[in-house]
Amino acid sequence: MDSLPPLLVLRLGSSLRLALMLGLAHVAAISLLWPLMLPVAAKLAATAALAISLVIYLRNYALRNSPGSITSLALADDMTCILETRRGERIACALLGGSFVAPYLTVLELKPLNKIGWWHKLHARSVVILPDSIAAEDFRQLRVLLRWKWKEQN
């Protein structure tokens, strides 16, 4: 990917829609937890765990302000992708078949090509892109590219 210029370079911003959806899902889970016949200590522990989960997901995916958050990506002709994190780390990835493309949401499932670090060895990365986290024309170009170029390779 280094020798050829990328087909598409995207800068990702924060997403108010994703923040609201994550917040509502976590609040719903907490509100469903409290009517259960569990000890109060268990309810408090579960509520604390859900609150911590909300903070982590908001920072990583909705607000993109944690050091490991994906802030940009570059898609190459061979459908490989370079992710850039807030801390400046670059991760070369292959686009997986589990990716989802729709007018209201795009989820890229990416597998790191370089096995550097223990986390990259264990998990694929997901990049959630909603229309409010990216320029409208960039979002359209990404969807078209993924629908036509990526689908023809799979």
pLDDT tens over the chain, length 154 residues: 456 678 899 999 999 999 999 999 999 999 999 999 999 999 999 999 999 999 999 999 999 999 999 999 999 888 889 999 999 999 889 888 888 999 999 999 998 887 666 555 556 788 999 999 999 999 999 999 888 866 545 5
DSSP 32-88: HHTTSS--HHHHHHHHHHHHHHHHHHIIIIIS--STT-EEEEEE-TTSEEEEEETT-
Whole-model pTM: value is: 0.83
Domain map (residue ranges) of the chain = 8-13+69-153, 16-62
